[in-house]
């Protein structure tokens, strides 16, 4: 690894750790430089601004997120298996990029440029378009207009559960016994079924009226 690449990665790693722990606004360039073992001037040799550094901290997680929907990795024939596998891969990403997602889900609410970058990265990527076509190819989906909203809500729900597990492990003893021992596999199974059927475990009567993305909700 070149010295230049090593220095840049040390800066990003240090910034990511501090942004996740203290927040973007509360973290100074001098603190990042100290954590990375470099001078403040070295920071600006690699990044034009603190905000550029923030974007560099989260972009790898966004890129990996888009790789989730590669067709060769989601070669399943039914919607339940597809949804379950997508959630499983998403949870694995939350483990891999925990600090980046912590920054992303926190700072995107307040940082307009970060939110814009996130949208531009995701919405303009051909991988998203290919994944959308793959999803819409499942004839089992009867409410097309709501599927993506439901999936997005489950992404946030899955992140919230994963994040709470990281910060409230010591509170496990206060949870109902059945809830405190829910494994990742059980969590993914339950969330998959909830996405597809809700808490009743069965499709509601008349759900097929929305088959062509029309009709009344």
pLDDT at 54: 93
pLDDT for position 212 = 42
The closest of 17, 94, 26 to 57, measured between CA atoms, is 17
Question: pLDDT at position 209, please?
Answer: 39
User: Which residue is associated with the tokens 């379950």?
Assistant: 84
**Short-list 88, 79, 89, CA closest to 184:** 88
Report DSSP state, residue 217.
-
CB neighbours of residue 153 within 10 Å: 12
- Residues 11 and 42: their CA atoms lie apart, in Å, by 9
Per-residue pLDDT at 216? 39
Check residue 214 and give its pLDDT: 42
The pLDDT value recorded for residue 108 is: 84
What is the distance between the alpha carbons of residues 94 and 114, in angstroms, rounded to a whole number? 19
Any residues with CB less than 8 A from the CB of 88 and at least 6 apart, and which?
Answer: 188
Q: Which two tokens stand for residue 137?
A: 């190819």
pLDDT of residue 168: 62
Domain ranges of the chain: 1-47, 54-210
Under 8 Å between Cβ of 34 and 26? no
User: Each residue's pLDDT tens digit in the chain (217 positions)?
Assistant: 566 679 999 999 999 999 999 999 999 999 999 999 999 999 999 999 999 999 999 999 988 888 877 656 667 778 888 888 888 989 999 999 999 999 998 888 888 888 888 888 777 778 777 777 777 778 777 766 666 677 778 788 888 888 877 766 655 666 666 555 668 888 889 888 888 887 665 655 554 434 444 443 3
Ramachandran region, residue 206 (left: φ > 0; alpha: ψ -120 to 50; beta: rest): left
Predicted local confidence at residue 176, as pLDDT: 63
Q: How high is the pLDDT of residue 157?
A: 85
CA dihedral 136, 141, 143, 148 (to 10 degrees): -50
Length of the chain, in residues:
217
User: So what's the pLDDT on residue 25?
Assistant: 92
Q: Confirm or reject CATH 1.10.10.60 for domain 1-47, answering yes or no.
A: yes
Give the 3-state secondary structure of residue 71. Answer: helix
């Amino acid at each position: 690894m070149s010295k230049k690449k090593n220095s840049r990665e040390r800066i990003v790693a240090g910034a990511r750790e501090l942004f996740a722990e203290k927040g973007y606004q509360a973290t100074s360039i001098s603190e990042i430089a100290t954590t990375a073992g470099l001078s403040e001037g070295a920071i600006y040799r690699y990044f034009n601004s603190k905000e550029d550094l923030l974007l560099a901290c989260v972009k790898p997680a966004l890129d990996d997120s888009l790789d989730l929907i590669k067709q060769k990795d989601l070669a399943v024939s039914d919607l339940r298996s597809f949804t379950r596998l997508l959630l499983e891969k998403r949870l694995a990403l939350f483990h891999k990029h925990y600090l980046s997602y912590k920054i992303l889900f926190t700072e995107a609410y307040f940082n307009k440029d970060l939110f814009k970058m996130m949208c531009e990265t995701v919405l303009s990527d051909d991988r998203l378009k290919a994944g959308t076509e793959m999803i819409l190819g499942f004839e089992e989906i009867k409410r097309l207009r709501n599927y993506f909203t439901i999936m997005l809500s489950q992404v946030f729900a899955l992140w919230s559960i994963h994040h709470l597990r990281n910060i409230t492990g010591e509170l496990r003893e206060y949870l109902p016994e059945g809830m405190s021992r829910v494994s990742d596999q059980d969590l993914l199974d339950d969330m998959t079924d909830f996405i597809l059927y809700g808490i009743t475990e069965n499709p509601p009567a008349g759900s097929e009226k929305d088959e062509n993305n029309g009709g009344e909700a």
